[in-house]
Chains A and B, each alone.
Chain A
Amino acid sequence: MVRFRTLAWLALRNLGRELRRSALTAAAMAIGLALLILSRTLADGAHEDWIDSGVRLGAGHVTINAPGHRDSESLDDRLTAAQLQASLAAVADGPTPDPPLASVRVSTRGLASSPEGALPAWIVGVDPAVELAFSRLGEEVVDGRYLEDGDRLHAYIGEGMAERLGVRTRSRMVLTAQAASGDIEGQLVRVAGIYRTGVEALDQSLVHIPLGTARSWLGVEGATSVAVLLAHSSYTDEVVEGVRDSADPADIEVVGWPDTHPDLYSALKLDDGGDWAFHFILFAIVALAILNAVFMSVLHRQREMGLLRALGLSGRETGLVVLIEGILLTLASGIVGVVLGLAVVWFFFRDGLDLSGLWPQDFNFGGVAFDPVLYPVIEVKHVVQSVIMTVAIGLSASAYPAWQAGRLDPAESVKVE
C-alpha cells in the first residue's frame, strides 16, 4: 500500500512537472470525448425524433391488439370490451412517471367514394381529443378543422384524397367497408377538415372518423387496437412486458414499435452503424493522442526510469508509474470531457439544431415525415458508454508505453542523457 501510494505520488509529480504537456493531452482527450457526447446526444435526439414522428402517425410505441390482427387487419380479430378495459388499466398502471397516452382505435380497410370517384382508404375511428395529442395529425390541417368531441358524421382526410375525390371541407362522401357482421356497410360522412403530412401514401388514404361513428357503423364494441405513446422510446420494452404480464384476459397481443414499424427500425439501425463508424474514428484519434503523449514522455524519461530501478523499483512498478499517469490523465480528461460535452449540448443546442436549410421540404424517411429541427437527447446510458470507452482507450493506450517502460534495461537507461 505504501508502495502503491508512492508510485501514485511519483506519477502525480511527473504530470505536475510537465503540466503543459499533460494539460494538452488531457485537453485533446476531453475535446474528443466532448465531441463524442455531442454527437451521441444529437444522434439520440434525431433517433428519438424519428421514432416519435413514426409512431405518432403509426401504431404508437406499444400496440395492443387481438392475436392475428396485425396480419389479418380484420374486424374478426378484435379486442372485446372487457379486454379493452383490462388493457387500458394495465397501461395506466405502467412504469412510466406519467400515465402514457393510449389511443383506442377501430380501424379497417375500406373504400372512400364521392361522385367523382373512389379510393382505397385506411379508415380509423378515434377519440378526437386523445388522437389530437397522439398523432398530431390535427396540426397538419390545411383546411377546415380536426375532429372534435361530439362530432358524429365527420371525417378528416388528406389533401391527396381530397384532390382525387374532388371533395372539399363540408363536402359529403361515403365510406364503405365490411362490418363485423360480414355485411358490406356504407357510412355517409361530411369532410370536417383536410390535412397534409407530406407523406403521399398517408395523404391519399388515411381517414379519421369519430370512434363512436366507427363502432356503430361497423358493429364493434371493443376496439381493433390500442396505440400507446410513451414519453420516451426507451420505456418500450418495459411497458410491453408490464402489459403482457398484467393484462387479465390473456388472449391479447402486445408488441413494441420495432415490430410494428420494421422499416423505421432498420433505418435507425443503419444510421446507428454510420454513427459507430464516426465514433470509431473519433476514438482512434483520441487513442493516438494519448498513446503519443504517454509514449513520448516515456522516451523522454528513460534515464529517470533507469534511476527508479536502481533505487529499488521493479520493472513492473516502474511501468505502473507510467500506467497511473495514463489513468490520471484519462480520468481528468473524462471528467472535463463529460462536463464540456454536456455544457456544449446545454448552451448551444438546448433549443435545437435547425437543419431545415439542409433538408428537402417534406423530407420523409421510412414512410415518416421529419421535423428538421434536431433536439439533443441526453441518454445517460450512452453518455456512460462514451465515458467507459474513452477511459478504456486511455488505459489501453497507456498500457503499451507502460509495458515498454517496465522492460527498459536499467543500465542502458541510466546512460541516456
Chain B
Amino acid sequence: MGENSNSGTVPDAVHAGRSTEDAVQPQGHAVRTANLWKIYPQEPRPVEAVRGVDLVVENGEFVAMAGPSGSGKTTVLNLLGGLTGPTEGTVRIGGQEITALSDRELARVRLKRIGFVFQSYNLLPMLTAQENAEFTLLLRGVPARERRERVRNLFDEIGLEGMEDRFPLKLSGGQQQRVAVARAVLGEPDLVLADEPTANLDSATAEALLDVMEQLNRTRGTTFVFSTHDPRVMERAGRLIRLVDGRIADESTPDGA
C-alpha cells in the first residue's frame, strides 16, 4: 500500500491561505465541494438528488444538515465520503480531491480520515460489538490490548459497558447505533459523516452520544457533518445547513442570523 498520500492531520493550519483557489490546497478545509451534482438515471425521468451544492466545512466544525425527506441529505453525505461519485463537480477532503481517486486510494482515504455512521444497520453482523467498534483500529494494525482498552473506556462512557461480546442482533437499535458511533470515533478520523445518528435513540442516549462527539470535536478538532431531523442535534450544531430539493436553501449559526 502506497504511503504518504495523505495530509490534513494538522488541525492548526486552519485558516492559512484559504482564499488561494486551486494551486496549492491549504489544509484549512475539512470539506469543500464545488458545484456538486448527483443525478440518478431513472424512468420516466432522471432524479436530480443533489443540484449544485457548494459546501465548505472548516476543520473542527460541528455541522448539521437538515431538510425534508428526499432533500438529498444522505446523497450529499455519500458524496462527501466517496461512497458514490458525483455526476458533476468535485469533492475535496482535507485539501485532497477525492473525485479523481481510484477505488483503492479512496478506500485508504476512508480508512485513515473518515468515519461513517449510517441511518441504520451499521454493524457487521458476524462480529461482536467489541470487534465492530475496533474494526478500523484492527485494519490499521493497532495492537489487541490497546484496542480492547480503548473500546472499554468508550463503551463505559456511552452506556455500553458489558456489551462487548454481544452480537449486533442481540443489541437494541440504540445500542447498535452507539457501537457504530464508537467505531466512527475510535478510529480518530479527521472527519465524521453521520447520517441521522440519533434517529433511533431515546433522549438520554442521544445526549450521551452527542456528548462523546462534541468532546472529540473539542479535544481533537475532529470535524463532524450530520444529517438530522433531530432538534437536539441541530441545537448543538455550530452551523445548521438547510437542504431543499438538493440545494442549500440557507445556513444559520446559533449565535447569529
Cβ of B107 within 8 Å of any chain A Cβ, yes or no, is yes
Stretch of A231-239, A314-322, A379-387 on the interface side = A314-322
- Contacting residues, chain A, for B16 (C-beta < 8 A): none
- Contacting residues, chain A, for B127 (C-beta < 8 A): 13
Stretch of A35-43, A98-106, A302-310, A344-352 on the interface side = A302-310
A417 touching B121, Cβ below 8 Å: yes
State which residues 285-315 of A face B: CB under 8 Å.
Answer: 303-304, 306-315
A308 touching B103, Cβ below 8 Å: no
Point out the residue from A2, A307, A411, A412 that lies within 8 Å of B122, measured CB to CB.
Answer: A307
Point out the residue from B84, B110, B125 that lies within 8 Å of A312, measured CB to CB.
Answer: B110
Point out the residue from B104, B116, B121, B141 that lies within 8 Å of A311, measured CB to CB.
Answer: B116
Cβ of B108 within 8 Å of any chain A Cβ, yes or no, is yes
Point out the residue from B120, B124, B183 that lies within 8 Å of A308, measured CB to CB.
Answer: B124
Binary contact track B101-118/A, C-beta < 8 Å → 1, others 0: 001101110111000101
What's the A-B contact tally at a CB cutoff of 8 Å? 71
Binary contact track B157-181/A, C-beta < 8 Å → 1, others 0: 0000000000000000000000000
B83 touching A2, Cβ below 8 Å: no
Docked pose: A92 CA to B181 CA in angstroms? 79
Docked pose: A316 CA to B106 CA in angstroms? 12
Are A304 and B124 also in contact (CB < 8 A) when A310-B110, A311-B135, A314-B103 are? yes
A306's nearest neighbour on chain B, judged by CB, is B83
- Contacting residues, chain A, for B100 (C-beta < 8 A): none
Cβ of A57 within 8 Å of any chain B Cβ, yes or no, is no
Point out the residue from A17, A315, A411 that lies within 8 Å of B103, measured CB to CB.
Answer: A315
B106's nearest neighbour on chain A, judged by CB, is A314
B125 touching A17, Cβ below 8 Å: yes
Docked pose: A16 CA to B167 CA in angstroms? 13
The number of chain A residues touching the other chain, given as a range, is 20 to 34
Tell me how far the C-beta of B134 lies from the nearest C-beta in chain A, rounded to whole angstroms. 11
Are A414 and B118 also in contact (CB < 8 A) when A310-B81, A311-B110, A311-B135 are? yes
A411 touching B136, Cβ below 8 Å: no
A310 touching B124, Cβ below 8 Å: no
Docked pose: A310 CA to B141 CA in angstroms? 18
Docked pose: A417 CA to B173 CA in angstroms? 14
Tell me how far the C-beta of B3 lies from the nearest C-beta in chain A, rounded to whole angstroms. 14
Cβ of B126 within 8 Å of any chain A Cβ, yes or no, is yes
Nearest first, the 10 A-B pairs at minimum CB distance are A312-B111, A411-B84, A314-B107, A17-B126, A411-B83, A13-B126, A411-B78, A410-B83, A314-B104, A310-B116
Q: List 11 A-B contacts (CB under 8 A).
A: A10-B124, A17-B125, A304-B125, A307-B118, A309-B110, A310-B116, A311-B136, A312-B111, A314-B103, A314-B107, A411-B84
Q: List the interface of chain B (C-beta within 8 A of A).
A: 1, 75, 78, 81, 83-84, 103-104, 106-108, 110-112, 116, 118, 120-127, 135-136, 138-139, 141, 183
